[in-house]
Structure 1
Amino acid sequence: MFNFEKYDTIIFDFDGVIIDSMPIRESGFRNIFSKFDESAVEELVKYHNLNGGLSRFHKIRYFYEQILNMDIDDNMVKSYAEDFTTMMREELSNPQYLIEEIVEFIRRNKDIKSLHIASGSEHEELNYLCKKLGIDNCFKSIDGSPTHKNYIVKKIIELNGYDKSKTVIIGDSINDYDAAIFNGIDFIGYNNVDLKNLPGAYYLDTFA
């Protein structure tokens, strides 16, 4: 069994770690871009799955600029993101999507360690979902996009004066690993076998 005793602070990703949201978010992108060519949308879904830690704002812009080769302004990005948020609030507030073994781990450790969420999910939506799901009181802070995850984690460490050697990120995407490397802290991969064998990282198949 992996030993968490060395860590005083644990920073969690949200999607794919605390909640099994990836299929719901895939559906969200297909819905907001339903008028576009299906193959282009599927290319975005593939990009989304490979980059779970990136924000919807980035992915919406990526869809237009890199896949469609079209311009998109900030107002259009915001409009698409708001439509996406509305769908996610309705769907993901259902506790059936919570990953039970992680939630149990969080509840066991919330009074022992400093727990935080750093997510690519939109900040207000993220806090709404955590409150609706009854897990918001388990965390010292809950932060999401549009701030990049690298800087969310940096802020968590600096504001609280955490010892980096006793701080770890648990994530399911390469972006979580990158945030750990950027901030000089440990990384534990979970729920994504592609993260196994990353240099300097750990991987857990289960928290049960």
Structure 2
Amino acid sequence: MSKPLAVIFDCDGVILQSNRLKSDAFGEVLEGYDPQQVADFVGWHKATGGVSRFHKFARFFRDIRGAQDWEALTEAACAGFGMRVFEGLKRCETIPGFEAFVAGLRSRDMPLAVNTGGAEDEVREVFAARGFAQDFAHIFGSPNTKKHNMQKLCDLGLAVSGAAYLGDSELDFKLAQMFDLQFFYIAHESEWHEGAAVTRAAGGTVVPDLHALIHLNIA
């Protein structure tokens, strides 16, 4: 395994133990709608990590419900979702090993960045409140897509061939392939159940949490 020139992190399930928090919030925001539609939607959400909340709620109201006022419903749902998850993101546990792993990378002056499907302003505020923001050269999120943000990191010289990308979703895996990054599947609370098998088959690395990466000494 070659030493990466930079390390790029997803957020939910890779830095913060927030996957379940967000999955629960999707269901709570849609309480009162057809229970089977909501259950199917939440299941789809779990299988499509890294996609912004706006696009997900738009799918529910526009494509599943066929609502004429889907844009207004989507905006309201996004606001309700944000209110539910924001405080939780400030309190939830980090993925085991996160602090020690980042400290080790920082001690080697390794460039670090975040590429998340979460709302960019929200993630930056949470990271500032928790004291993480100064560890990352860039923190990118929605409304831009993760592909768009990865291209920005490429232009900035971080998402270069051989850089490491730590993720837990199929989208993360596909982006790593697209940008020729070393992919590390963080299994701790991933909702992509095929992730370990798919990652191994493609030659990526599967680890239970970030403690394991300290031992791998990727930097």
TM-score (norm 1): 0.89
- TM-aligned CA distance change 1:129 to 1:163, over 3 Å: closer
Q: Which residue of 2 is the match for residue 103 of structure 1? A: 99
Give 5+ residue unaligned stretches, structure 2. 212-219
Matches within 5 A, 1:77-88: 77-88=74-85
Distance 1:120 1:147 in 2: 8
CA contact (8 A) 2:61 2:70 kept: no
Matches within 5 A, 1:134-149: 134-149=131-146
Identity %: 24
Instruction: Tell me the alpha carbon deviations over residues 67-122 of structure 1, each in whole angstroms, 9 at most, x when there is no partner.
Output: 3243454343222212211111122211x421131232112212421110000001
**Alpha carbon RMSD of aligned pairs, Å?**
1.9
Moved more, 60-69 or 165-174: 60-69
Give 5+ residue unaligned stretches, structure 1. none
Structure 2 counterpart of 1:70, from 67, 72, 97: 67
Paired residue type of 1:39: Q
Moved more, 180-189 or 144-153: 180-189
Matches within 5 A, 1:37-52: 37-52=34-49
TM-score (norm 2): 0.85
CA contact (8 A) 1:32 1:83 kept: yes
CA contact (8 A) 2:111 2:137 kept: yes
Q: Does residue 207 of structure 1 match 2:210?
A: yes
CA contact (8 A) 1:167 1:185 kept: yes
Q: Which residue of 1 is the match for residue 121 of structure 2? A: 124
Q: Which residue of 2 is the match for residue 172 of structure 1? A: 168
Secondary structure in 2 matching 1:196 = helix
Q: Which residue of 1 is the match for residue 10 of structure 2? A: 13
Q: Which residue of 2 is the match for residue 189 of structure 1? A: 185
Q: Which residue of 1 is the match for residue 29 of structure 2? A: 32
Paired residue type of 1:121: G
Task: Using CA pairs under 8 Å that are at least 6 residues apart, name the structure with larger relative contact order, 1 or 2.
Answer: 2
CA contact (8 A) 1:150 1:178 kept: no
